[in-house]
């Protein structure tokens, strides 16, 4: 409210009431702009350039004028600019990055040099707490991180260290039972995004909802929240409505499954699917529900044959490896399902429907690297001997095919030992084969025929 009142008072001091209302109606995001570093410099520059009457006419005709990039920046002196540029360069921003900042966030160059230096010093000292080594040896690393933070979130430079940044760091330490190193890791991983969040409006309600979803009821259970935030601090930046939609979706999956399987309730020791995903792979919550999560769940349901047998639990399969929901449908899941289907480890229809009687491929196996693990191993086994399968004579399987478990989960040494293969020969083969196998244009041919890919 204080920010809104400040902006409204500023507009009323520069233009008449009708124009002020028009600006707010057509550009409500003006309420988010800093009067001191953005709106006032822009308005003052235009007033000096045009005079009050022309400024009033210009604002009536173009209510977006106060949001124009670069306006007002030119009234700074060269010395002022040089001080800001030198401070940004010292913090790790390249000359190119500074030039981009001039175009995208000109208000930065209207902030006092003392304020900019205090924020940059705060960030470097905060990140330094995440270093096991001395400050001097990690300075370049901090500079690179700070440069990324400022390039992504230049508005941080306009925040007060004492009133904004320090209280937010202290709140996260207290509310999440974290030490300063944990918070520094979160800031680094989120590229500073979490420092943009206000305590009362953002952090408090979001943390309360996360605790509720994770079933954190006392201090002894806070480790679940801490691990979740360290894995993916960006979950704090999601709106409550966004989080609720995803929690409701995962809860709905479980409810439908209970009805389908005729269950009254799940085991009392079983956490909800929403909680499990939040604990093990919170990154899922940053994905689009409509465009990402739902399509993947629908494809996995088909590939696992969830509707075929009442004993098959979709929520259980997702609980075992929720990370599969972060894999690309087109880039990972479809090609890997295709591989397992073509090689006979499972049987799927052209619509990815599971064929009754065949094996189901768990999510953890679908998450295995196709090009770095599955293809080289299968291809190497084929090179040791293979036989035709099927009437077309195109499908090939190795004379000594590996078990699914060995193919996917075993390390190279155990994989070769289980099939009596030479480890050194396989490693040499893999190093040479991986670059060739990554040519997607050759992939379908190789899977269908098993013939070596010629590049």
Per-residue model confidence as pLDDT tens digits over 323-364? 999 999 988 999 999 999 999 999 999 999 999 999 999 999
Half-sphere exposure of 14 (CA within 13 A, CB side): 32
Residues of the chain with pLDDT > 90, as a percent, come to 51
Residue 63: its pLDDT value, please? 82
Mark whether 25 and 14 lie in a shared domain.
yes
User: Considering the domain boundaries, does residue 81 fall inside one?
Assistant: yes
46 and 139 together in one domain: no
pLDDT of 313 over the 60 cut: yes
| Number of domains the chain contains | 2
Residue that is written with structure tokens 């902006």 in the block: 7
Q: How far is CA 95 from the centre of its chain?
A: 28
Is 41 a domain residue? yes
Is the model's pLDDT at 441 over the cut of 50? no
pLDDT band of 15, cuts 50, 70, 90: confident
Please report how many Cα atoms fall inside a 13 Å half-sphere around the Cα of residue 174, on the Cβ side: 9
Whether residue 37 is found in the same domain as residue 138: no
Which of 166, 197, 228 corresponds to the end of one domain? 197
Same domain assignment for residues 69 and 89: no
Task: Name the residue range of residue 58's domain.
Answer: 2-74
Give 167's pLDDT tier (boundaries 50, 70, 90): very high
| Domain annotation covers residue 82 | yes
- The segment with the largest mean pLDDT, out of 64-68, 98-102, 147-151, 447-451, is 147-151
Tell me: pLDDT of 445 over 60.
Answer: no
Same domain, 29 and 86: no
Task: Identify the bridge partners of residue 354 per DSSP, sorted by sequence position.
Answer: 348
Say what percent of the chain tops pLDDT 70: 85
Average of pLDDT values for 413-430? 94
Instruction: Output the pTM of the full model.
Output: 0.76
Say which CATH number the domain at 115 has. Answer: 1.25.70.10
Q: Specify the pLDDT at position 283.
A: 97
Q: Are residues 92 and 150 in the same domain?
A: yes
**Which residue's structure tokens are 């999560």?**
293
Which of 74, 109, 136 is a domain's end point? 74
Q: Is residue 15 part of a domain?
A: yes
Report if residue 346 sits inside a domain. no
Tens-digit pLDDT profile for residues 74-86: 445 556 678 889 9
Same-domain pairing of 117 and 191: yes
215 in any annotated domain? no
Which one of 197, 217, 242 terminates a domain? 197
- Does residue 9 surpass a pLDDT of 60? yes
The answer to whether residue 99 sits within a structural domain is yes
Note whether 92 and 115 are same-domain residues.
yes
Shared-domain flag, residues 57 and 169: no
| pLDDT of residue 52 exceeding 70 | yes
> Is there a single domain that holds both residue 177 and residue 190?
yes
Q: Calculate helix-pair angle for 17-26, 52-61, nearest 10 degrees.
A: 40
- Domain membership of residue 380 (yes or no) is no
| CB-CB contact of 315 with 257 (8 Å) | yes
- pLDDT band per the 50, 70, 90 thresholds, residue 264: low
Indicate whether 429 pLDDT > 70.
yes
């Amino acid at each position: 409210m204080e920010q809104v009142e400040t902006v409204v008072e500023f507009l009323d001091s520069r233009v008449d009431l009708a124009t002020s209302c028009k600006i707010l109606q057509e550009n409500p995001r003006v309420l988010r702009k800093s009067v001191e570093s953005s709106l006032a410099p822009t308005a003052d520059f235009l007033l000096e350039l045009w005079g009050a009457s022309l400024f009033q006419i210009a604002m009536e005709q173009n209510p977006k004028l106060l949001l124009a990039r670069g306006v007002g920046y030119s009234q700074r002196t060269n010395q002022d600019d040089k001080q800001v540029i030198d401070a940004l360069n010292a913090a790790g921003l390249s000359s190119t990055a500074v030039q981009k900042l001039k175009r995208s966030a000109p208000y930065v160059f209207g902030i006092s040099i003392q304020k900019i230096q205090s924020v940059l010093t705060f960030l470097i000292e905060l990140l330094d707490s995440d270093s096991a080594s001395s400050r001097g040896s990690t300075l370049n690393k901090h500079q690179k991180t700070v440069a990324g933070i400022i390039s992504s979130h230049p508005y941080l430079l306009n925040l007060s260290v004492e009133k904004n940044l320090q209280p937010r760091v202290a709140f996260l330490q207290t509310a999440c039972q974290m030490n300063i190193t944990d918070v520094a890791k979160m800031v680094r991983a989120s590229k500073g995004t979490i420092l943009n969040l206000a305590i009362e409006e953002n952090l408090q309600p979001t943390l309360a909802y996360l605790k509720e979803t994770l079933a954190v009821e006392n201090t002894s259970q806070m480790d679940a929240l801490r691990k979740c935030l360290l894995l993916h601090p960006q979950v704090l930046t999601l709106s409550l409505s966004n989080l609720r939609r995803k929690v409701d979706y995962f809860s709905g999956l479980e409810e439908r499954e209970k009805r389908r399987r005729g269950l009254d309730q799940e085991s009392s020791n079983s956490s909800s699917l929403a909680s499990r995903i939040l604990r093990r792979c919170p990154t899922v919550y940053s994905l689009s529900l409509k465009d990402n999560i739902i399509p993947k769940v629908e494809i996995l349901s088909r590939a696992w044959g969830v509707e075929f047998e009442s004993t098959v639990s979709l929520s259980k399969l997702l609980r075992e490896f929720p990370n599969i929901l972060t894999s690309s449908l087109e880039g990972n899941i479809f090609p890997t399902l295709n591989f397992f289907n073509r090689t006979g480890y499972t049987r799927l229809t052209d619509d990815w429907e599971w064929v009754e009687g065949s094996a189901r491929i768990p999510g953890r196996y679908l998450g295995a690297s196709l090009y770095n693990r599955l293809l080289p191993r299968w291809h190497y086994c084929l090179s040791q001997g293979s036989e035709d399968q099927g009437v077309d004579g195109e499908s090939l399987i190795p004379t000594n095919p590996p078990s699914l478990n060995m193919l996917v989960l075993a390390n190279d040494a155990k994989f070769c030992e289980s099939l009596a293969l030479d480890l050194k020969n396989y490693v040499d083969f893999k190093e040479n084969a991986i670059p060739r196998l990554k040519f997607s244009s050759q992939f379908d041919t190789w899977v269908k025929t098993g013939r070596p890919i010629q590049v």
